[in-house]
């Protein structure tokens, strides 16, 4: 499989995410939100290797390295910088999102609580600067859930082929998500209720099933054109996105346009891969570093917000507007500046970090390996601690019951 094609696809999806948050509003924002983020889940399903069904440890460790560890490290960095950014004006107690959400200073207790949530629940990240961090949690949990369900289905001879298992996974994902939305149930222990994770599982199954029909080999304009029509009609009549608390109409309106958008992105990626070598190399570079841009593009927007505040004569605290200065929304020039900053600054920061790391002879893999070992030892310690608590509780219950039996025996009327 041509991996560069899918790196280009992820780069295009990432660019659309940045554009949708760079001050775009109205129909363009609705159009982009229907497939830009879902494309990452569909791509993950399309690239799923069935060899992991017999090598679960490698699959889980790789996902931890690519999703959990970056999420924790970047969330902790933003958490530790939160009060400093608030003092500098990059976050504000008066200016925030269009919906009125603003930032507040964290006490030591609140910081500790946020840290606990980040490490153990993949939540607690900055609600404004880390708005897109939920994608890491949803990708991780949906991927692990996808693997578990796949292995369970493989036990039945009815799902011996990948196509059969793919259809079953898609149906299961749709049924579970429908149940969650229709009945309003909450997936216990998963932040925000688990809708995004279940929808992510459904989209991964759809992506996996598209691969069984060799979409990347048979895709032509005859398939891409109807997909574009489906996406256009859906964005006009029933727009939706991967919000965490959708109603049934928003949920039911998402899967088909998301798949249609993925088809369009794959078609564009294949064309760029064949016809535009310079663009191909640039987009491949961006696609391979998509997590960094996804994590830090909102923080990078603040550089343009500072320029906008100076040019428009706004108070300094207006930099805290989320995601962009509200006076700049829907203005093409400012939107382009925000997009350029949101894509370029995270990549420049990553390049600088890697250059510094190379000088001190510390690779990113060594840092990840250290974090994995630390996480394993932490989990082992918690397991031993929990086991000890259970044993102590069991011993206390046995001692208590023995004492009760002795009291009953001592007061028995037979002895009298």
Query: How much is the mean pLDDT over the chain?
Result: 89
For the record, the structure tokens of 87 come out as 């003092």
Q: What would the pLDDT profile of 359-395 be if each residue is shown by its tens digit? A: 776 555 665 565 556 555 655 665 666 677 767 767 7
Q: What would the pLDDT profile of 248-260 be if each residue is shown by its tens digit? A: 999 999 999 999 9
Q: What are the phi and psi torsion angles at 290 (to 5°)?
A: -55, -40
Q: What would the pLDDT profile of 68-124 be if each residue is shown by its tens digit? A: 999 999 999 999 999 999 998 899 999 988 778 889 999 999 999 999 999 999 999
Task: Give the residue extent of every domain in the chain.
Answer: 3-362, 367-416
Alpha helices in 2-107 (DSSP H): 3-21, 27-33, 38-46, 56-63, 69-88
Q: Are 128 and 37 in contact (CB under 8 A)?
A: no
As to burial, measured by CB atoms within 10 angstroms (0-12 exposed, 13-18 middle, 19+ buried), residue 217 is exposed
Instruction: For residues 164 and 169, give the distance between their C-alpha atoms in angstroms, rounded to a whole number.
Output: 9
What pLDDT sits at residue 161? 93
What pLDDT sits at residue 379? 58
């Amino acid at each position: 499989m041509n991996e560069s094609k899918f790196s280009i696809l992820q780069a295009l999806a990432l660019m659309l995410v940045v554009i949708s948050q760079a001050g775009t509003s109205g129909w363009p924002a609705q159009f982009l939100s229907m497939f830009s983020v879902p494309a990452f889940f569909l791509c993950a399903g399309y690239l799923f290797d069935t060899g992991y069904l017999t090598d679960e440890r490698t699959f889980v460790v790789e996902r931890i390295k690519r999703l959990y560890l970056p999420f924790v490290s970047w969330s902790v960095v933003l958490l530790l910088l939160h009060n400093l950014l608030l003092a500098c004006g990059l976050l504000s107690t008066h200016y925030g999102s269009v919906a009125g959400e603003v930032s507040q200073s964290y006490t030591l207790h609140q910081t500790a609580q946020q840290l606990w949530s980040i490490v153990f629940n993949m939540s607690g990240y900055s609600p404004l600067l880390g708005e897109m961090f939920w994608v890491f949690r949803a990708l991780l949990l949906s991927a692990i859930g996808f693997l578990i369900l796949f292995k369970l289905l493989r036990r039945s001879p009815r799902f011996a082929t990948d196509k059969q298992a793919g259809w079953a996974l898609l149906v299961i994902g749709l049924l579970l998500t429908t149940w969650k939305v229709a009945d309003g149930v909450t997936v216990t222990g998963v932040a925000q209720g688990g809708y995004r994770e279940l929808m992510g599982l459904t989209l991964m199954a759809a992506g996996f099933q598209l691969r069984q029909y060799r979409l990347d080999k048979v895709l032509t304009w005859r398939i891409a054109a109807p997909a574009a029509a489906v996406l256009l009609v859906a964005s006009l009549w029933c727009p939706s996105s991967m919000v965490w608390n959708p109603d049934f109409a928003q949920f039911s309106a998402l899967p088909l346009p998301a798949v249609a958008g993925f088809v369009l992105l794959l078609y564009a990626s294949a064309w760029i891969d064949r016809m535009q070598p310079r663009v191909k190399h640039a987009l491949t570079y961006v696609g391979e570093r998509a997590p960094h841009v996804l994590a830090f593009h909102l923080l990078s927007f603040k550089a343009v917000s500072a320029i906008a505040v100076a040019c428009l004569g706004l108070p300094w605290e207006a930099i805290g507007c989320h995601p962009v200065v509200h006076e700049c929304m829907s203005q093409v020039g400012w939107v382009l500046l925000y997009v350029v900053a949101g894509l370029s600054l995270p990549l420049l920061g990553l390049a600088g970090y890697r250059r510094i790391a190379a000088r001190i002879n510390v690779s990113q893999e060594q840092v990840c390996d250290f974090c994995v070992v630390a996480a394993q030892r932490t989990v082992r310690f918690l397991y031993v601690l929990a086991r000890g608590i259970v044993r102590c509780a069991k011993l206390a219950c046995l001692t208590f019951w023995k004492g009760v039996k002795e009291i009953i025996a001592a007061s028995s009327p037979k002895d009298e």
